[in-house]
C-alpha cells in the first residue's frame, strides 16, 4: 500500500502491484472463495489508489501541467468507469457466468488507464515539478491511501475537496466492515 519515494515512484509501484494481482486472478481456475478474496484485494488497492490520485495527483496536474484540466478530467472519467465495474464485481457471485467478462473489462480499463498515466501524465508532471514537489506529493498520496475507503462508492463526488472531506469517514466505515467480515485479510 505505501511503497515510499516520490509520487510517480509510489503510483508506478501501485500499478505493478495491481498488475501482479491481475496475473494471479487470470491464473486461477474456477471461482470460489479464492477468487472472491483476490477480487476483494484488487478492489481495495484500486479504490485506495484512485482516491489518493483524486485528492492530490489530479489537482497538481491541473495546477502545473499544460492542459492539465483536460488531462485530469480524462483520468477522472477513467476512474468513474473503473469504480462502476468494481461495484458490479462486488455484487457478482464468483460462479456467475458474468464474473469473467466483467473481470476482463476491469483489467482492460485499468491497463489502458495505467498506460495513459505512465506514458503521458507522469512524464509531463516530472518535467514541470521539482523533485521536492514530487516527494511531497508522494507523502500526501501515502497518507491519503491509508485513510481511503476500501470499497467502491461510485455515487460519491470525485472533486478533491469533497473527497478529502468524505473519504476518511467512508474509509473508516469500510475498514470497520472489512474487520468484522475478514475481507482483505487473505
pLDDT at 136 exceeding the cut of 70: yes
Q: How many CA atoms lie within 13 A of 49 on its CB side?
A: 27
The average confidence (pLDDT) of the chain is 85
Gap between the Cα atoms of 135 and 43, Å rounded: 26
pLDDT digits (tens, 9 = 90+) for 18-54: 999 999 999 998 778 999 999 999 999 999 999 999 9
User: What size, in residues, is the chain?
Assistant: 186
Give every CB contact of residue 24 below 8 A, 6+ residues apart in sequence.
38
* CA 119 to centroid of chain Cα atoms: 18
The model carries a pTM of 0.82
Given a cut of 50, is residue 162 above it in pLDDT? no
Question: What is the rounded distance in angstroms from the CA atom of residue 151 to the CA atom of residue 139?
Answer: 22
What local confidence, expressed as pLDDT, does residue 101 receive?
96
Instruction: Please determine, for residue 8, whether its predicted confidence score (pLDDT) is greater than 90.
Output: yes
Question: In sequence order, what DSSP letters do the residues of 1-18 get, joined into one string?
Answer: ----SSHHHHHHHHHHHH
pLDDT at 173 over 70: no
pLDDT in tens, 46-86: 999 999 999 999 999 999 999 999 999 999 999 999 999 99
Each residue's pLDDT tens digit, 87-99: 999 999 999 999 9
Residue 121 has pLDDT above 70, yes or no: yes
Cα–Cα dist 136/16, whole Å: 22
Tens of pLDDT, residues 143-160: 999 888 776 665 555 555
Inform me whether the pLDDT recorded for 1 exceeds 80. Answer: no
* Neighbouring residues of 99: CB distance < 8 A, sequence distance ≥ 6: 31, 35, 89, 92, 93
User: Is pLDDT of 182 > 80?
Assistant: no
Position 17 pLDDT exceeds 90 = yes
CATH, range 7-181: 1.20.120
Amino acid at each position: 500500500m505505501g511503497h515510499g519515494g516520490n509520487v510517480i515512484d509510489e503510483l508506478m509501484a501501485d500499478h505493478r502491484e495491481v498488475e501482479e494481482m491481475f496475473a494471479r486472478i487470470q491464473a486461477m481456475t474456477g471461482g470460489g472463495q479464492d477468487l472472491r478474496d483476490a477480487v476483494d484485494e484488487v478492489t481495495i488497492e484500486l479504490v485506495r489508489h484512485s482516491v489518493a490520485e483524486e485528492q492530490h495527483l489530479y489537482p497538481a496536474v491541473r495546477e502545473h501541467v499544460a492542459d492539465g484540466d483536460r488531462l485530469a478530467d480524462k483520468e477522472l472519467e477513467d476512474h468513474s468507469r473503473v469504480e462502476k465495474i468494481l461495484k458490479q464485481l462486488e455484487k457478482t457471485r464468483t460462479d456467475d457466468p458474468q464474473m469473467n467478462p466483467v473481470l476482463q473489462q476491469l483489467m482492460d480499463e485499468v491497463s489502458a488507464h495505467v498506460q495513459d498515466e505512465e506514458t503521458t501524465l507522469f512524464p509531463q508532471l516530472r518535467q514541470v515539478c521539482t523533485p521536492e514537489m514530487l516527494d511531497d506529493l508522494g507523502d500526501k498520496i501515502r497518507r491519503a491511501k491509508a485513510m481511503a475507503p476500501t470499497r467502491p462508492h461510485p455515487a460519491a463526488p470525485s472533486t478533491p475537496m469533497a473527497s478529502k472531506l468524505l473519504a476518511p469517514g467512508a474509509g473508516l466505515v469500510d475498514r470497520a466492515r472489512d474487520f468484522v467480515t475478514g475481507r482483505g485479510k487473505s
